[in-house]
Amino acid sequence: MQFDIERTLCARFRSIGGCGLTITMFVTFFVLTVALYSVEPIITVYITHLSHDSSHIALMAGITFSASGLANIIAAPRLGKLSDKIGVHKVMLVSLVAAGIIFIPQAFVSNPWQLMGLRFLLGLTAAGLTPSVNVLIKKITPAPLTGRVFGFAMSAGYLGVFGGSVLGGQVAAWFGVQYVFLITSALLLMNAVWVYFNVYKKLSNKEKLMM
C-alpha cells in the first residue's frame, strides 16, 4: 500500500515537470558548492604568489576565503526578500551569471586585497542561489516527498564540496592556479544557460499564463 502511494506521488511529480526542475536544482547547488570550494586548496598558494610580505600569509588566506561567507550573511536576507517580489527564478539566473563573471577577474588580480574584494562580491551573488534553490525545491515537491528531496539536495551540496576541492587542486597542479578561476567561471555560466532554458523560461511562461 505504501509503495503504491509513493509510486502515485512520484508519477504526479513527474507529470508536473517536477523531476526535471528538481534535477536542475540539484546540479545548481552542486555547481555552487564546487565554485565556492574550488579555491580552498589553492588559496594559500595564490595569496603567497600575490603577496610581497610573507609574514601574515595564513591570516590573509583565511580572511580572503571567508570574505564570501561574510558577504553571504549580509546579502542573503535582502536577496531573499527580492526573490519574493520578482521571483526566485529571476534572482537565481542573475546570481549565476554574476558569479560566473566575477570569477574571471580573480584569475588576474595583482594583490591579495583585490582578490579579497572580488571574493566579497562573489559572496553577494552566491547569497541569491542557495535560498532560491531551496524555495524552488519546496514549491515543486509534493509534501510527502519533501524530506527525501531535500536530503538529495544536501547530498549534492556535500558532493560539490568534495568535488570542488579535488577540482581546484588538480586543475592548479596541471594547468596553474589561474585556470581554477576560469574553469569554475565556465561551469557557473554553463549552469546559468541550463537554468535559463529549464527553469527561467518555464516559470516565466507560467507567470504569463496566470496573468
For Cα atoms 98, 75, 156, give the angle at the middle one, nearest 5 degrees.
Answer: 65
Q: To the nearest whole number, what is the mean pLDDT of the chain? A: 85
At 14 the pLDDT is 55
Q: Is residue 179, in this structure, part of any structural domain at all?
A: yes
For Cα atoms 165, 168, 174, give the angle at the middle one, nearest 5 degrees.
Answer: 135
Q: Is residue 208, in this structure, part of any structural domain at all?
A: no
pLDDT classification of 210: cutoffs 50, 70, 90: low
Which residues form the domain of 55? 20-199
Q: What are the pLDDT digits (tens) for 88-142?
A: 889 999 999 999 999 999 999 999 999 999 999 999 998 888 888 888 888 888 7
Task: Look up residue 88 and give its three cell numbers.
Answer: 526566485
Q: Is residue 4, in this structure, part of any structural domain at all?
A: no
Q: What are the pLDDT digits (tens) for 53-69?
A: 777 888 888 888 889 88
* CA–CA distance, 168 with 183 (Å, rounded to integer): 9
Q: Is residue 107, in this structure, part of any structural domain at all?
A: yes
Q: Is residue 2, in this structure, part of any structural domain at all?
A: no
CATH of residue 183's domain is: 1.20.1250.20
Q: Residue range 20-38: average pLDDT?
A: 88
At 9 the pLDDT is 47
Q: Is residue 10, in this structure, part of any structural domain at all?
A: no
Q: What b/e sequence results for 162-196 when a residue is b if at least 16 CB atoms lie within 10 Å of its CB, and e otherwise?
A: ebbbebbbebbeeeebbebbbbbbebbbebbebbb
What is the residue type of 10? C
Q: Is residue 177, in this structure, part of any structural domain at all?
A: yes
At 15 the pLDDT is 46
Grid look-up 536530503 returns: 151
Report how far apart, in Å, the C-alpha atoms of 152 and of each of 148, 157, 169 are.
6, 9, 26
At 34 the pLDDT is 93
At 10 the pLDDT is 53
Read off the DSSP letter of residue 42.
Answer: T
Listing DSSP states for 143-206 in one string gives GGGHHHHHHHHHHHHHHHHHHHHHHHHHHHHHT-HHHHHHHHHHHHHHHHHHHIIIIIHHHHHH
39, pLDDT greater than 60: yes
At 206 the pLDDT is 66
What is the residue type of 210? M
At 1 the pLDDT is 46
160, pLDDT greater than 90: yes
* Cβ atoms of residues 178 and 106 within 8 Å: no
At 125 the pLDDT is 92
At 142 the pLDDT is 78
Q: Residue range 135-153: average pLDDT?
A: 83
Task: Look up residue 125 and give its three cell numbers.
Answer: 551573488
Count how many domains the chain has. Answer: 1
**Structure pTM?**
0.86
Q: Is residue 65, in this structure, part of any structural domain at all?
A: yes
